[in-house]
Amino acid sequence: MRRSSAAVLLGCGALFGLSYVLVRDVVPVAGPVGVTVARTFIGGAALLLAARAAGQRPQWRRWRAYLVLGALSAAVPFSLISISMLSLNAGTAAVLNASSPLFALGFDVLERRRRPDTGQLVGLVLAIAGVSVAMAARGLHISDGGAVGVLAGLAGAAVFAYGGFFAARRFDGEAPAALAAGQQLAGCTLLCPALLVFPFHATPTASLLLRLVVLGVAGSAVAYLLFYRLIAIEGPARAANVNLLVPMFGVLWGWALLDEPIPPLSIAGMAATAAGVLLVLRHRPAAG
């Protein structure tokens, strides 16, 4: 992976990691659907302004494809992740989300009709083991209804992974800002009717709105702008490895913003995760 791509991967992982901390904070008040509608609307609006300033526009004539992408990469995975956090703590949800690169590898194998590289598999196993150790040191917790939370977390990871392949196939060549804007706004459009059934759990306050704005701009707008740029440069399978970095950055954001301690075992787990990611990124996929 190029150094520029590695920098984009790190930035994307840091922003997605921040979104986990923010979702954990607001989902009990706003609800899974409310959080997802708010972050996609705010993120999509910010991206649309940025795209227009750069002279780019989403290809709205392909609105059906945008709706599918919005479902795969925003509405469905965001909602499933939020649902999982109703019965799982952030650490457990992050471990489940780290399975996304494994799903992406499976989709890549099916699409290219080739076996995965041994080094890539070893790197993925090492990275996921590191994520598990890092999160276990901070405590993994599953409350009542945890089976639903686990299934929701795994399903969200799988849907998110497939969304990258759909974007690469159907939107090849589209500017990342325009693509991300269309994806976010499509996801918001799909979920807005659900607010009639699953409204906000409480009246929004200024503090809640501020946190949702940060989540929408950082965790949706900028993060997805980087993510789609990474897909365009490196492909969807390699871009999915960003999910291996999310838990590590989640721990670091928790320490920086919430003064949460980082146990020594978490540091060891993060080191293993970093080593696994480096091994994966050193892998050169065969032409297919």
Is 209 domain-assigned? yes
Residue 288 placed within a domain: no
Structural domain includes residue 37: yes
Around Cβ 143, how many Cβ atoms within 10 Å?
11
CB atoms within 10 A of CB 265: 13
Enclosing domain of residue 187: 3-282
Determine, yes or no, domain membership for 165: yes
Q: How far apart are CA 23 and CA 43, in angstroms?
A: 14
φ and ψ of 171, to 5 deg: -125, 30
pLDDT in tens, the chain (288 residues): 778 888 999 999 999 988 878 887 888 888 888 888 999 999 999 999 999 998 888 888 889 999 999 999 988 887 887 788 777 766 677 778 888 888 988 888 887 766 777 888 888 889 888 888 887 766 665 666 677 888 888 898 999 999 999 999 999 888 999 999 999 999 999 999 988 888 887 777 888 899 999 999 999 999 999 999 999 998 998 899 898 898 888 888 888 887 878 888 888 988 999 898 888 887 555 444
Query: Are 35 and 27 in contact, with CB atoms under 8 Å apart?
Result: yes
| Residues 159/164/169/172 CA torsion (nearest 10 deg) | 150
The span from the CA of 42 to the CA of 218, in Å, is 10
Whether 61 maps to a domain, the answer reads yes
Using DSSP's 3-state secondary structure scheme, residue 88 falls into strand
Q: Which amino acid is at 287?
A: A
Residues 6 or more apart whose Cβ sits within 8 Å of residue 20: 90, 93, 94, 97, 246, 247, 250, 253
Angle of helix 100-112 relative to helix 242-258, nearest 10 degrees, comes to 160
Tell me the CA end-to-end span of the chain in Å, nearest whole number: 17
* Number of folded domains that form the chain: 1
User: Residue 200 is encoded by which pair of tokens?
Assistant: 């906000």
**Do 168 and 235 contact (CB within 8 A), yes or no?**
yes
In a domain, 272, yes or no: yes
In a domain, 163, yes or no: yes
